[in-house]
Amino acid sequence: MRKKYPVLLILGILVPLLAARQAAVDSLEAVFGKINQEVLQNGQGYETLRRATSAIGHRLTGSPNGRKAEEFTYDHFRQYGFRNVKYQPFDVESWMRDTVSLEIVPRSSDNFHTYRAVALAHSPVRAEVKGQLVDVGNGLAADFDRVKDQLRGKVALVNIGLVAAGPGLKNLHRSEKTALAIAGGATGVVFVNQVKNNVVLTGTASVTGQLISIPAVCIGMEDGEQVRRWMKEEKRLEAHIDMRNKSQPIRARNVIATLRGASLPNERIIIGGHLDSWDLASGAIDNGIGSFTVLEIARVFQSLNLKPKRTIQFVMFMGEEQGLLGSEALVQQMVKDKSIRHVRYMINLDMAGNPVGFNVAGRDEMLPFFRETGGLISRMDTVFRNTTTSRAGLHSDHQPFMLEGIPVASPVSNLNPAVYQCYHADCDHFRLVDKNHMDNSVRFTAMLLYALADADQLPARRLSSDQTRDFLVRNQLKDELILGRKWRWGQ
């Protein structure tokens, strides 16, 4: 009898714990079922995005359209029943394109060719540049080092992406390539897109969100190939860039709706996506499918009267395209008023579509939680394959939160690559949006959000400053952050 007693005691402890655990899983699964049914039967995200792209068009920060987008989403949060909705204004230098021309001229003859080009954001307000073209290939640091004795006073020809690159090479953002060009003494940059049919794209060429000192333009893939063939024949070609742009201080606004937590209201989960877009098209993919998914998730939570333990803040960021301006403004304000200490997690939706899993962005301690939650989501629909990854990266609205040590996550998207080829381009239109894919983004991300907000305890904590530094070094982000002037820990 004495030998059996410890076993009975252990069972007496374990059985109630297992029963409580199973009850928690059953409760979570029941909420997931409600979310699933609400989205599939009453989903409005696709139609709301259609109305916005039709009525507003592009959503460039600082433009009248940008202001309309801010008001559109504010009004919808209020219509969905949120009482705590606010604008968070911030002042920025707003850049807008005017005119640009690019001519490629051989030094050996009067023959020249005019190419279709678009200016990259934060190029000078006025620029007239004539300079010999120097091919810098993929524009990585090693590529610029290769031509360091040839580039000063000339115009760099650079790929936006990686072409014929060796294994393990990591691409740089166009702004970082521009920074390297400026450091190398270039007087201009001509970027070559890697999308067929001469698709041209825009985007910021500035690592700081301020005006850069040289003009930067983008041309299409086939035009870039033609220029390179011509360079081999003529040996010496000049690029003539003439551009006019506008830049002026404006006030933009993030839009924030808050759902107060039931039992842990001081702990916050932030879910956001950038509302702004470039002016070449409607921004349906970049980032309508992300930001309007956030808006629709907010509607679903209110429609179902969901009351998780933690407070959730639904954020529509402005100014992401011009340098993460809105998310940086929010984080700076939270650091200033010390509310940053209440933020437990940030979920970012940037061109997120038809997710098959989630990325925990280098915080491996979150993997068991995400895998377990993903397993429950996949019971709702096997389209969700529970593909959990852990890759840390930069250049979207999660970045300012990550630099403050806050764990971040994002959906692992599963869209046709051709959809992404229209990002920042004039082919980014609503016709690229698939309703089923957007509904999947809403229901799967809403399930994860609820699980995080209602968890008894989250396995990831905010990192200290030193821990954040070590995390960034470990994930090979230090050099990019130095180049982008965001590294604050010294050498």
Q: What is the pTM of this model?
A: 0.92
Q: What is the distance between the alpha carbons of residues 465 and 405, in angstroms, rounded to a whole number?
A: 7
CA dist., res. 284 & res. 431, Å (int): 8
Give the start-end residues of each E strand in 107-171. 113-115, 118-119, 126-135, 155-159
Compute and round to an integer the Cα radius of gyration of the chain. Answer: 25
Give residue-wise pLDDT tens across range 383-413. Answer: 999 999 999 999 999 999 999 999 999 999 9
Quick check: 478 and 487 in contact, CB under 8 A? yes
* Burial of residue 9 (number of CB atoms within 10 Å: 0-12, 13-18, 19+): exposed
Please state whether beta strands 85-106 and 357-359 pair in parallel, antiparallel, or not at all (unpaired).
Answer: unpaired
pLDDT digits (tens, 9 = 90+) for 428-450: 999 999 999 999 999 999 999 99
Q: Is 394 helix (H, G, I), strand (E, B) or coil?
A: coil
**For residue range 177-193, what is the model confidence (pLDDT) as tens digits?**
999 999 999 999 999 99
Phi-psi region of 395 (alpha: psi -120 to 50; beta: other; left: phi over 0): left
Nearest to 256 by CA among 36, 89, 67, 111: 89
The dihedral through the CA atoms of 381, 383, 388, 390 has a sign that is negative
Q: Where are the domains of the chain?
A: 35-84+260-483, 98-245
Per-residue pLDDT tens digits for 237-252: 999 999 999 999 989 9
d(CA 319, CA 274): 8
Pairing of strands 126-135, 237-259: antiparallel
Distance separating alpha carbons of residues 220 and 365, to the nearest angstrom: 43
| 3-class secondary-structure state, position 475 | coil
Q: What is the C-alpha to C-alpha distance for residues 20 and 26, in angstroms, rounded to an integer?
A: 10
For 35-84+260-483, which CATH superfamily applies? Zn peptidases (3.40.630.10)
CA 55 to chain centre: 24
313-343 exposure pattern, b = at least 16 Cβ within 10 A, e = fewer: bbbbbbbbbbbbbbbbbbbeebeeeeebeeb
Neighbours of 250 (CB within 10 A): 18
CB-based contacts of 301-305 (< 8 A; 24+ apart in sequence): 301/259, 301/446, 301/450, 302/80, 302/81, 302/82, 302/259, 303/38, 303/42, 303/80, 304/31, 304/34, 304/35, 304/38
Per-residue pLDDT of the chain (491 residues; tens, 9 = 90+): 445 557 666 656 666 655 556 667 779 999 999 999 999 999 999 999 999 999 999 999 999 999 999 999 999 999 999 999 999 999 988 899 999 999 999 977 678 899 999 999 999 999 999 999 999 999 999 999 999 999 999 999 999 999 998 888 999 999 999 999 999 999 999 999 999 999 999 999 999 889 999 999 999 999 999 999 999 988 899 999 999 999 999 899 999 999 999 999 999 999 999 999 999 989 999 999 999 999 999 999 999 999 999 999 999 999 999 999 999 999 999 999 999 999 999 999 999 999 999 999 999 999 999 999 999 999 999 999 999 999 999 999 999 999 999 999 999 999 998 899 998 998 999 999 999 999 999 999 999 999 999 999 999 999 999 999 999 999 999 999 999 999 999 87
CATH of 98-245, one of 3.40.50.2300, 3.60.40.10, 3.50.30.30, 3.50.50.60: 3.50.30.30
Query: In which element (H, E) is residue 230 found?
Result: helix 221-234
Whole-Å CA distances, 491 to 170, 401, 478, 481, 482:
21, 22, 9, 12, 9
